[in-house]
Amino acid sequence: MHALIVVAHPEPTSLSHGIAARIAEGLSLTDPGNSYEIADLAAEGFDPRFSAADLAVHRTQASPPADVAAEQARIDGADALVLVFPVYWWSMPSLLKGWIDRVFSNGWAFDFSLDGGLEKKLRHLKVHLIGVGGADARTYTRHDYFGAMKTQIDHGIFDYCGARVVTSELLLDSETQDPALHLDTARSIGRNLFKTSQSCEAA
Ligand SMILES: Cc1cc2nc3c(=O)[nH]c(=O)nc-3n(C[C@H](O)[C@H](O)[C@H](O)COP(=O)(O)O)c2cc1C
């Protein structure tokens, strides 16, 4: 089984990068046959700006630009898509949001037409979301940021395309908590990555 682990953080020494590495370690330890690729969007220089060329794709007037097609091919080659991101303003950072805007395009992630309605095209895709937030759980609960983020990201993006969100975790208190706790959680997410997907399939 192959995982594409996408990390959207400018600093290789960040907790987000540490978490991505531990998820990779966990899934490799479970089964040496498992493989992964870490897509470091910042280091790779992915351009998150939604351009006129992307709009032409949305309007089914053009094929995706080469950088978008390359990202779609990476996802097509994976059994699981793992997104690791710091929470910025109660959502994902703009680098990752731009990646979604551009890569999850009309014609690839879904087909939408006024007469035909919506066809969800990513029903085969299993998604694992790991957000890293600085605030505490009380703050998330008080304002229902947990619910708001699930509605917007899990449902609004992935369910719209038919993809199944298997893991949706927010690792909080990231600036005050001992990082070892979150890194341990990440390793166990990695260990269970394909187990969880398989048990969901059987259910
Ligand atoms: C621009 C910006 C916005 C942020 N917004 C939030 C937020 O809305 N909620 C939250 O819990 N933490 C927020 N934080 C804190 C980050 O989530 C925290 O610094 C990060 O998870 C630390 O992990 P890292 O080492 O991977 O950056 C924000 C940080 C920055 C820089």
Q: Give the pLDDT confidence of 138-171 residue by residue, as tens digits.
A: 999 999 999 999 999 999 999 999 999 999 999 9
In this structure, the dihedral spanned by the alpha carbons of residues 4, 10, 16 and 18, taken in order and rounded to 10 degrees, is: 80
Query: Which CB contacts under 8 angstroms, 24+ apart, belong to 59-64?
Result: 59/106, 60/106, 60/107, 60/113, 64/105, 64/107, 64/108
Q: Whose CA is nearest to atom 18 of ligand 1?
A: 134
Q: And the tokens for 196?
A: 């969880």
Question: The domain that contains 17 carries what CATH number?
Answer: 3.40.50.360
Q: Read out DSSP for 147-196?
A: HHHIIIIIIIIIIHHT-EEEEEEEE--TTTS-HHHHHHHHHHHHHHHHHH
The reported pLDDT for the residue numbered 203 is: 39
Which structural domain range is residue 150 located in?
Answer: 2-202
Domain total in the chain: 1
Q: And the tokens for 73?
A: 């091919």
C-alpha closest to that of 171 among 70, 108, 83: 83
The reported pLDDT for the residue numbered 68 is: 98
Confidence label for 114 from pLDDT (cuts 50, 70 and 90): confident
Q: Residue 117: in which H helix or E strand, if any?
A: strand 117-120
Q: Give the pLDDT confidence of 60-108 residue by residue, as tens digits.
A: 999 999 999 999 999 999 999 999 999 999 999 999 999 999 999 999 9
What is the crossing angle of helices 15-30 and 179-202, to 10°?
50
Q: Ligand 1: list residues with CB < 6 Å.
A: 9, 14-16, 86-90, 132-135, 174-175
> Whole-angstrom Cα distance, residue 118 to residue 112?
5
Cut 0.75: pTM above it: yes
Q: Give the pLDDT confidence of 15-51 residue by residue, as tens digits.
A: 999 999 999 999 999 998 999 999 999 999 999 999 9
The reported pLDDT for the residue numbered 115 is: 86
Among 138, 173, 174, 183, the mutation site with the greatest number of ligand 1 atoms within 8 A of its Cβ is 174
